[in-house]
Amino acid sequence: MEIDLTDQEFALFQQLIYNESGINLSPAKKELLKSRLVKRLRTLSLKSFKEYYKYVTEGDTTGKEMIHMIDCISTNLTEFFREIAHFNFLSGKLLPALLEKKRKNKEKRIRVWSAGCSSGEEPYSLSMILNEHIGQINTWDVKILATDLSTRVLEKAKQGLYHKDRLKNINAQLLHTYFRKGGSHFEDYYQTTDVLKKIIVFRRFNLMEKTFPFKGQFDFIFCRNVMIYFNKQTQSELISKFHKHLAPEGHLFIGHSESLAGTNSKFKYVIPTVYQK
Ligand SMILES: C[S@@+](CC[C@H](N)C(=O)[O-])C[C@H]1O[C@@H](n2cnc3c(N)ncnc32)[C@H](O)[C@@H]1O
């Protein structure tokens, strides 16, 4: 039986999703929301979206259904070395300068944040670059914090198992060094090695949190193709938090279709979609 989503119900979900995740669903997304959530209704044997709304907001006191709901509506499109100009800038300019500065200050701590890391392709790409550039990385204290709101994609990220079709942007040398081919049941898959995983910490974190619980500052932050779903005010608040949590002269990388225009930020423009504190 077809379950209808009325405009009034859609408006309730729009507000709820905005409050929980900052994600702004336009009216054009009504059918998409319906098709994604209807599966949850069936699983829970609920007959209407009204009943589902009540269940998410009142019935389920564990908060788990809210996580399921956000998992259903988030867009997690990503790839290895997405927007290659960022990785070229990182390898060619940012990292050599950062490493020189750290060595001069006799400091060996490097902190990176992949905020909105999806299924892990972004933090694993960063891990490859850091492993390639930092000689004797074991003697350094390097950490990539990789966070996302969706537990579903985080599980995939932690697993680090990718179909060969997803690895086309990785050159043969990097693939050979940092991946292992899957076993007999996973012939078409590659697994990230411990070397790559060792410096990454995966955590669920909502970028809408009022305050960020990080003690130390980040040398650079990647937050790409996430803010695109937020309105200008949410973007402005987030960008000023990134500014606060970056080390002096730290860099912020945003997605190719995003911009800091109209956010009143204190960042300095470096190259398209890369900014500096
Ligand atoms: C399109 S993916 C981008 C992945 C990667 N950064 C890239 O550029 O390839 C957007 C990710 O942002 C996450 N996201 C959306 N709203 C979020 C929020 N409020 N807090 C944390 N992550 C969020 C989604 O779950 C999704 O995995």
pLDDT digits (tens, 9 = 90+) for 201-243: 999 999 999 999 998 999 999 999 999 889 889 999 999 999 9
The Cα–Cα gap between 155 and 277 comes to 32
Sign of CA dihedral 202, 124, 113, 227: negative
CA 250 – ligand 1 centroid, Å: 21
Nearest to residue 244, comparing CAs of 204, 274, 216? Answer: 216
**Is 1 a residue whose pLDDT tops 80?**
no
Which of 265, 125, 253 lies closest to 200, judged by CA? 125
The larger pLDDT score, comparing residue 52 to residue 231, is at 52
Residue 205 corresponds to which tokens in the numbers above? 């974190």
Q: Return all residues near 25 (Cβ < 8 A) that are at least 6 apart.
A: 13, 14, 17, 18, 33, 73
- CA 77 to ligand 1: nearest atom: 1
pLDDT at 106 over 90: yes
DSSP labels, 58-110: II-TTSHHHHHHHHHH------TT-SHHHHHHIIIIIHHHHHHHHHHTT--EE
**Confidence at residue 183, expressed as pLDDT on a 0 to 100 scale:** 79
pLDDT, residue 101, reads 97
Residue nearest to atom 9 of ligand 1 (CA): 78
Q: Each residue of 3-26: pLDDT tens digit?
A: 999 999 999 999 999 999 999 899
**CATH for the stretch 84-276:** 3.40.50.150
- Which atom of ligand 1 is the closest one to the Cα of 255? 8
Q: Is 152 labeled as catalytic in the residue annotation? A: no
Residue 263: predicted pLDDT: 85
Distance between CA atoms of 178 and 127, rounded to whole angstroms? 10
Read off the pLDDT of residues 141-162 as tens digits, 9 standing for 90 and up.
999 999 999 999 999 999 999 9
From the CB of 150, is ligand 1 less than 6 Å away? yes
CATH class, range 7-73: mainly alpha
The predicted-structure confidence for 239-275, as pLDDT tens digits, reads as follows 999 999 999 999 999 999 999 988 889 999 999 999 9
Q: d(Cα 153, Cα 138) in Å, to the nearest integer?
A: 28
The confidence score (pLDDT) of residue 185 equals 78
Q: Can 111 be counted among the known catalytic residues?
A: no
Overall average pLDDT of the 47-53 stretch? 96
Q: Give the DSSP H/E element, type plus range, for residue 48.
A: none
Residue 71 alpha carbon, nearest atom of ligand 1? 25
| pLDDT category of residue 138 using cuts at 50, 70 and 90 | very high
Pocket-testing residue among 74, 87, 152, ligand 1, by greatest number of atoms within 8 A of Cβ: 74
In this prediction, residue 184 carries a pLDDT of 77
Give this prediction's pTM: 0.93
Write the DSSP symbol of residue 61.
T
pLDDT for position 145: 98
3-state DSSP assignment of residue 252: strand
Percentage of the chain surpassing pLDDT 70?
100
User: Ligand 1 pocket, 21 CB below 6 A?
Assistant: yes
Q: Which of 82, 111, 148, 224 is catalytic?
A: 148
Catalytic hit among 36, 40, 152, 166: 36
Sign, CA dihedral 39-40-43-48, equals: negative
Where are the chain's structural domains? 7-73, 84-276
Q: Is the pLDDT of residue 57 over 90?
A: yes
Question: Which residue reads 């697994």 in tokens?
Answer: 191
Contact between residue 234 and residue 204 where contact means Cβ atoms under 8 Å apart: no
- By residue count, the chain amounts to 277
**Between these two residues, 182 and 108, which has the higher pLDDT value?**
108
> Is the CB of 145 inside a 6 Å radius of any atom of ligand 1?
no
Residue type at 186?
F
| Residue 34 Cα distances to 10, 48, 153, 158, angstroms | 9, 11, 21, 29
On average, the pLDDT of the chain sits at 94
For the CA of 208, the nearest atom of ligand 1: 19
Q: pLDDT at position 273, please?
A: 97
Q: Which pLDDT belongs to residue 248?
A: 97
| Any ligand 1 atom below 6 A from CB of 120 | no
Confidence (pLDDT) at 264: 85
Residue 118: CB within 6 Å of ligand 1?
yes
Q: Are 142 and 220 in contact (CB under 8 A)?
A: no
More confident residue, 74 or 275: 275
pLDDT of amino acid 176: 96
Mean pLDDT of 132-144: 95
Distance CA 145, CA 160 (A): 15
Burial class from Cβ neighbours inside 10 Å (0-12, 13-18, 19+) for residue 236 reads middle
| Residue 206: φ, ψ to 5° | -95, 120
